[in-house]
């Protein structure tokens, strides 16, 4: 095949005018290597083609590949996703999106030096754990606080510090797996604590706990099984009762709260979940929860508790392996300051989404509907677009049985499979994740962020025009 002779050389391509801006923007080595790869690909394509190809065509084909490959090589694997699912805390989508205050504070600390481990007043070495502690004490009423990598780490640190080689009593009904493969019994075993299971899967009473107490009991443990619910004939021990038993017997009580929330959501019909403040007020000795669930901050494990126990955890060598970095601390402080001094219903995206009024959601759905119907009226593959009421979810292992009424858009396609459109939308940049309702695509507006509506219209046009 004599087309091969027409393939331009690397040098020829480097002399093309369009290559110069690429070398300026990235670097010469990346561009040269990409050109080589593009030439190889074109050579392979030629070997399967019967017809002759002109040199100009080959050049154009290589240039197109180079541009695509360079852009791919520089875009990383994390991609922005538009969440049209209506699930506010989607573990697969990075859980809580951060608020502006957290983002700005984090940004400032990321690109500058900071006093992460420096006591500026004394001019000597300080502790990174000092930073968020005072804020958490103020917000929750706890005696002391400590931040680690995530809630799993918090539970591990708590158990291993309090109960290594000793007994921890826990209800069978709470030995569950929680989102993200966190298995309460596995983490307990890892901590070196001996698990003493009491009660049955559906019923555990306080008497089950008191009967199991021995001289070896180091801790009474309770996990807030927030991602599942046994309804009907079931009974769990109340934290208050566990704390009372702990006080009577002198054994500390630890609660894994899971999705800790600082903000009362009662007004919005989400009253079931106890707030962090309420749990602290029971007198529980140690409480742990995640930073990136209902709190709406970065991934982190927050530990609240009595000073003597937090002190012990700070001295535990294993803390070094569970420690948080400056970006987490900054994002967490920014988030907590929003609760303390700002307006969480506006400044914390998760809280904003959960407290958004039905009227506002309806307006948002109307705007999206208008955008879509004007942009897409000329698209042959759209059969119908309608505004609909939808049921949203909190997600992230909280309020498992709640369906929050919201609004969305339902799209019916024709001449194309719903699955095909959904897949194409997952592969755009940003990606768009939608829900399926029988043979229709559903986009809930609750979980859409600023600017997402316009983008959705663009993306749909993009994938349907193909
Ligand atoms: C989510 C959850 C965890 C795990 O928290 P991570 O922050 O993901 O490590 C542990 N326990 C409970 C009860 C949870 O809900």
**Is the CATH number 1.10.10.350 carried by domain 100-345?**
no
d(C-alpha 353, C-alpha 449), whole Å: 9
Q: Helix (H, G, I), strand (E, B), or coil: what is residue 97?
A: coil
Q: Count the helices and strands in the chain (H runs, E runs).
A: 19, 18
Q: Residue ranges of the domains in the chain?
A: 2-75, 81-90+355-465, 100-345
Give the position of tokens 């309702």.
437
- Asked if 301 and 151 count as a contact pair (C-beta separation under 8 A), the reply is yes
Distance 174 CA to ligand 1 centre (A): 13
d(C-alpha 256, C-alpha 279), whole Å: 10
The answer to whether domain 81-90+355-465 and domain 100-345 are alike in fold is no
By most ligand atoms within 8 Å of CB, the mutation choice from 171, 174, 290 for ligand 1 is: 290
The pLDDT value given to residue 264: 87
- Quick one: three-class SS letters along 333-380? HHHHHHHHHCCHHHHCHHHHHHHCCHHHHHHHHHHHHHHHHHHHCCCC
Q: Which residues contact 222 (CB under 8 A, 6 or more apart)?
A: 170, 171, 174, 237, 239, 242, 253, 254, 255, 256
The pLDDT value given to residue 396: 76
Identify which of 100, 84, 80, 99 has the alpha carbon closest to the alpha carbon of residue 447.
84
Average pLDDT, consecutive stretches of 10 residues, N- to C-terminus, the chain (466 residues) = 84 93 93 96 90 89 94 90 96 94 97 97 95 97 98 96 97 78 84 94 92 98 71 79 97 94 86 88 97 97 98 98 97 97 96 96 96 84 93 81 91 95 96 95 97 95 88
The pLDDT value given to residue 49: 85
Query: What is the topology classification, in CATH, of domain 81-90+355-465?
Result: 3.90.1150
Question: pTM for the complete prediction?
Answer: 0.92
Which residue's alpha carbon is at the smallest distance from atom 11 of ligand 1? 258
Degrees to nearest 5, angle at CA 290 with 287 and 296:
125
Phi and psi angles of residue 155, each rounded to the nearest 5 degrees, phi first: -65, -45
Which residues surround ligand 1 with Cβ inside 6 Å?
150-152, 178-180, 182, 223-224, 226-227, 256, 258-259, 290, 301, 397
């Amino acid at each position: 095949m004599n087309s091969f002779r027409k393939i331009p050389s690397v040098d020829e391509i480097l002399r093309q005018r369009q290559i110069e801006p690429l070398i300026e923007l990235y670097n010469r080595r990346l561009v040269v290597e990409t050109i080589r790869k593009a030439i190889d690909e074109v050579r392979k394509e030629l070997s399967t083609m019967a017809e002759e190809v002109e040199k100009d065509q080959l050049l154009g084909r290589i240039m197109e590949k180079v541009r695509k490959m360079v852009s791919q090589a520089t875009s990383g694997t994390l991609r922005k996703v538009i969440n049209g699912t209506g699930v506010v805390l989607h573990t697969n989508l990075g859980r809580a999106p951060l608020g502006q205050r957290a983002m700005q504070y984090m940004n400032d600390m990321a690109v500058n030096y900071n006093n992460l481990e420096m006591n500026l007043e004394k001019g000597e070495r300080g502790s990174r754990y000092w930073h968020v502690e005072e804020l958490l004490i103020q917000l929750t009423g706890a005696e002391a606080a400590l931040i680690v990598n995530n809630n799993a780490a918090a539970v591990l640190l708590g158990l291993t510090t309090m109960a290594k080689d000793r007994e921890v009593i826990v209800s069978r009904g709470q030995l569950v797996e929680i989102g993200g493969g966190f298995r309460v019994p596995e983490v307990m075993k890892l901590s070196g604590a001996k698990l003493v299971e009491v009660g049955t899967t559906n019923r555990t009473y306080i008497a089950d706990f008191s009967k199991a107490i021995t001289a070896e009991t180091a801790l009474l443990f309770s996990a807030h099984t927030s991602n599942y619910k046994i309804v009907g004939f079931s009974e769990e021990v109340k934290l208050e009762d566990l704390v009372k038993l702990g006080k009577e017997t002198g054994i500390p009580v630890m609660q894994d709260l899971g999705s800790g929330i600082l903000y009362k959501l009662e007004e919005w019909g989400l009253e079931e979940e106890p707030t962090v403040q309420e749990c602290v007020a029971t007198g529980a000795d140690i409480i742990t929860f995640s930073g990136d669930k209902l709190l709406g901050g970065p991934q982190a494990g927050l530990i609240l508790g009595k000073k003597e126990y937090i002190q012990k955890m700070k001295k535990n060598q294993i803390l070094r392996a569970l420690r948080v970095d400056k970006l987490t601390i900054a994002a967490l402080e920014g988030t907590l300051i929003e609760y303390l001094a700002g307006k969480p219903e506006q400044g914390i995206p998760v809280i904003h989404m959960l407290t958004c009024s039905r009227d506002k959601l309806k307006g948002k759905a109307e705007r999206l509907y208008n955008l879509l119907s004007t942009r897409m009226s000329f698209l042959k593959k759209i059969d119908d677009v309608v505004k609909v009421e939808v049921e949203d979810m909190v997600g992230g292992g909280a309020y498992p049985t709640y369906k929050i009424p919201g609004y969305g858009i339902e799209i019916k396609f024709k001449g194309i499979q719903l699955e095909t459109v959904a897949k194409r939308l997952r592969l755009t940049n940003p990606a768009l994740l939608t829900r399926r309702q029988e043979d229709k695509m559903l986009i809930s507006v609750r979980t859409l962020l600023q600017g997402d509506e316009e983008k959705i219209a663009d993306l749909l046009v993009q994938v349907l025009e193909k």
